[in-house]
Each structure stands twice: as C-alpha cells, then as structure tokens.
Amino acid sequence: MPEQPGVICVYARPQNGGVCKGCGARITWAYTYPNRKAHPLDADSVALSTFHAEDDNHELIERHDRATSHFATCVKSKDFSGKSKPRREREPGEEG
Ligand SMILES: [Zn+2]
C-alpha cells in the first residue's frame, strides 16, 4: 500500500494554485490518490517522494507530509465542513 501514516498521496500533475477561503493563505489544490478528491496543501509543500500509480495510466504520485495539508495548518479548518464536526479529515467535495 502506498499510503503511510502521516503521509498524503496526491496526483502530481493536476494541481491548481488558490487561496484558502477561510484564512487567505496560498494553497495548492491537489487530487488525492487514489480517490481523486480535491485536497488543499500548503502552497510551499514539497513532495517527500514520488511513485507511479498502480493503475493503467501509471501517473506520477507525490507523497506529502500530512502536516502540510492545509486541513492540518488552517486555523479555519473546522469551517471547511458545513456539517457536523468532522471525526476525520473532510474533503471539500463541492469546491471548484
Ligand atoms: Zn486556510
């Protein structure tokens, strides 16, 4: 399994810069591997390592420290979910 504790895996290519609606910080929108959910990383997050996906496309995947997930660093992270308080990290599925 490519997933490791404390590490978030994202597709390397389709990333878009943006600004957090909550705190105004610069972020990078990446898509998680393998679920392809939009996930904000801190804009200066650097991949720890890379590997190629075990699917037909063999896309390049980056591992980032979960500490650089903007969910971890944003002071407004609990506002990202408009529903009940998250038990785990929530994905902003309706963003975009
Ligand atoms: Zn933020």
Average pLDDT of the chain to the nearest whole number: 83
Q: Is residue 26 part of a domain?
A: yes
Q: Is residue 17 part of a domain?
A: yes
Q: Is the pTM of this model over 0.75?
A: no
Kindly give the distance from the C-alpha atom of residue 2 to the centroid of ligand 1, in angstroms, as a whole number: 27
User: Sign of dihedral through CA atoms 34, 47, 87, 24?
Assistant: negative
Q: Write the pLDDT tens digit of every residue in 10-39.
A: 999 767 889 999 999 999 999 999 999 999
Q: Is residue 91 part of a domain?
A: no
Q: Is residue 29 part of a domain?
A: yes
User: What domain range includes position 56?
Assistant: 7-74
Q: Is residue 2 part of a domain?
A: no
Residues with CB under 5 A from ligand 1 (ion): 20, 22-23, 25, 74
Q: Is residue 81 part of a domain?
A: no
Whether residue 92 is preceded by a cis peptide bond, meaning omega within 30 degrees of 0, is: no
Q: Is residue 63 part of a domain?
A: yes
Kindly give the distance from the C-alpha atom of residue 55 to the centroid of ligand 1, in angstroms, as a whole number: 32
Kindly give the distance from the C-alpha atom of residue 75 to the centroid of ligand 1, in angstroms, as a whole number: 6
Q: What is the pLDDT of residue 96?
A: 47
Question: Total domain count for the chain?
Answer: 1
